[in-house]
Amino acid sequence: MVPAVRVSFYNTSKFQSQVSWIPNTHYSGLYGLLKLVLPDALPPDLARVIVLDTDVTFASDIAELWAFFAHFSDKQMIGLVENQSNWYLGNLWKNHRPWPALGRGFNTGVILLWLDRLRQAGWEQMWKVTARRLLLTLSSTSLADQDIFNAVIKEHPGLVLLLPCLWNVQLSDHTLAERCYSEASDIKVIHWNSPKKLRVKNKDVEFFRNLHLTFLEYDGNLLRRELFGCPSQPPPQAEQVRQSPLPWSWEGPALLSSGRPQLGSSSLAPQRQRALAHLDEEDACFEFQQQRLTVHRVHLTFLPLDLLPSELHDVTLVAQLSVDRLQMLEALCSHWPGPMSLALYLTDAEAQQFLRFVEASKVLSARSNVAYHVVYREGPLYPVNHLRNVALAQARTSHVFLSDIDFLPAYSLYNYLRASIEQLDLSSQRKTALVVPAFESLHYHLSFPTSKAELLALLDAGSLHTFRYDVWPRGHTPTDYARWREAQAPYQVQWAADYEPYVVVPRECPRYDSRFVGFGWNKVAHIVELDAQEYEFLVLPEAFTIHMPHAPSLDISRFRSSPAYRDCLHALKDEFHQDLSRHYGAAALKYLTALQRSRSST
């Protein structure tokens, strides 16, 4: 949602067969060869592009690089920087046999491609003929596309425009990059083209690394504002882009292109912009109103995901969290072996911390069935229900367990839920909510119960309690814990005011009401919606989940300390009930009556 920037994706599976016949020992694998097919893969009306590896850092305005297209002769089609090592000279070790190149050759981490000229010159035929001939005597490519680009340029040197070395300072193992510049601050593009990435050796590597870390600390929300006067007229039909990250070791190209009109995308729909402009900053509920109008950047499937085909009766655990709850992920993974869909509310810098956290964790890095979706932080209040909806929408199983990140489910709960869904014959169309009774521990170190019998013993000993028994009993009283102690089979319970159990429901259940932000009534409103749609609530006799202690959030502290905050929440409740009445008519009267009784008793 950066103004005047459009993002496009291209399906590599259409083009892999064009390069898969080439043996390649480079760590980028098949993907490192795909730059060769860009003239064919990109739209035919695209005239020129800058091609960038994903491991480059710009320290200058990219417009300066684009300006080099004006220096191309009529015959030149490719702009490259010279390779800053002796690799192509063939003297690094005994029997070193690199592909042929012009002198030291060229590095393909930064390329200017004049696409229409390459197409007219028969680029595809040119590189394929060269590659096939050389592979008769060379076993494979060592540097992927770079070897083939250099071999073609060796035969057709008039194709290339030599770019100044500052536009691709290469920090590889055998680099001569330090000969390129006198002051590190003069550099235009830093290319971390070693498998070691930020751990390479260079006299200025600390400067380069700090530049990279400074970039990671930028708040991406700044880019949504018109800092540079970019036009922000929305396109005729706004496109929603879902982005997936690339593995860190992959050196595929990023593209900046010219040749067709570029449509800007406004960060907010016009009606939201107008609504924001009319908000009264003096209003006590200004923050609530502002938060509900905020459109967040969302990065779905932030890390690689490898979900097995879903079984007929399978359950995804759905939850949300912020950076101060990251430490709870490992314990959750040890309790729940099944698929999870988690929404994380992070700044851009925190997203990088999260990546390092997962990489350093043996538990988390070993899990491939946990989907992480980053919602980038913006606004004063925690958009709890929006986060839940993001995670819920990405679940791929027939049912979902709607939980919170500070709860640890019974070790057996995942398998027990799947068996219960099958035994109760709960199809995805049946409106049934399975209630998982919630308990809490006041101890940071708990000998977690492995069975219902062990849990009841801890409950009787005072080491466990029913959840929020002392501060919010209405939230879970309808579960009927006394009956649960003796239950041998699922039993039905009725909705009551302020009920907010943790439930397992079909994936197509109603979404959470995103107007509820911060602390208070966010789950309650969802349970009301389930009851309004005539879901039955069945309590499972062997299921349980336990809340683990932690420091209170900022939002719950504000709820407890600020009467104005609680007044705003009451206003939201009233608005919610008015919408219920409009949607469900007389059937919604019981919710309004329950709300009024709740207030009078309070």
* Percentage, residues of the chain above pLDDT 90: 61
- All structural domains of the chain: 12-232+239-253 (3.90.550.10), 298-601 (3.90.550.10)
Distance (Å) of CA 411 to CA 33, 136, 447, 463? 46, 58, 12, 18
Residue 15's pLDDT band (cuts 50, 70, 90): very high
Give the pLDDT confidence score for residue 249 in this predicted structure. Answer: 28
- Average predicted confidence (pLDDT) for the chain: 87
- pLDDT at 472 > cutoff 60: yes
pLDDT at 229 over 90: no
Of 249 and 576, more confident: 576
- Neighbouring CB atoms inside 10 A of 22's CB total 20
**pLDDT tens digits for range 339-359:** 999 999 999 989 999 999 999
pLDDT of residue 231: 55
- DSSP annotation of 170 reads E
User: How many Å apart are CA 319 and CA 407, to the nearest integer?
Assistant: 10
Quote the pLDDT of residue 418. Answer: 96
More confident position, 381 or 239 = 381
Query: Which range, 81-95, 260-274, 319-333, 558-572, has the best average confidence (pLDDT)?
Result: 319-333
Q: How far is residue 528's CA from residue 541's CA, in Å, rounded to a whole number? A: 23
Cβ density class 119-131: b for 16+ within 10 Å, e for less: eebebeeebbebb
DSSP secondary structure, 548-563, as one string: PP-PPPHHHHHHHH-H
Contact in structure between 491 and 415 (CB atoms under 8 Å) = no
| pLDDT at residue 182 is higher than 70 | yes
Residue listed under structure tokens 């932000």 = 517
pLDDT at 280 over 60: yes
- b/e code 341-371 from CB counts within 10 Å (16+ = b): bbbbbbbbebbeebbebbeeeeebeebebbb
Say if strands 545-547 and 399-402 run parallel, antiparallel, or are unpaired.
unpaired
Q: How far is CA 120 from CA 40, 114, 123, 384, 585, in A?
A: 11, 10, 8, 54, 67
Residue 161 has pLDDT above 70, yes or no: yes
Between 324 and 307, name the one with better pLDDT: 324
Those residues whose C-beta lies under 8 Å from the C-beta of residue 77, and which sit 6 or more positions away, are: 113, 114, 117, 118, 121, 123, 159, 160
Quickly state the pLDDT bin for 368 (edges 50, 70, 90).
Answer: very high
**Distance of alpha carbon 421 from alpha carbon 314, whole angstroms:** 8
| pLDDT over 50 (residue 501) | yes
Q: Evaluate if residue 246 carries a pLDDT over 50.
A: no
Per-residue pLDDT tens digits for 29-81: 999 999 999 999 999 999 999 999 999 999 999 999 999 999 999 999 999 99
| Bridge pairing between strands 464-466 and 432-436 | unpaired
Neighbours of 472 (CB within 10 A): 12
Q: Which comes out higher in pLDDT, residue 382 or 251? A: 382
**416 versus 193: which is more confidently predicted?**
416
With b for 16 or more beta-carbon neighbours within 10 A and e for fewer, the 220-253 pattern comes to bbebbeeeeeeebeeeeeeeeeeeeeeeeeebbb
The structure tokens 């009233």 sit at 574
> How many residues are there in the chain?
602
Within 10 Å of residue 517's Cβ, how many Cβ atoms?
26
Inter-residue contact 210 to 190 (CB < 8 Å): no
Rounded distance between C-alpha atoms, residue 512 and residue 14, angstroms: 39
Confidence bin at 225 (pLDDT 50/70/90):
low
CA distance 372 to 314: 19
pLDDT of res. 244: 31
Which residue type sits at 174?
H
pTM, rounded to two decimals:
0.73
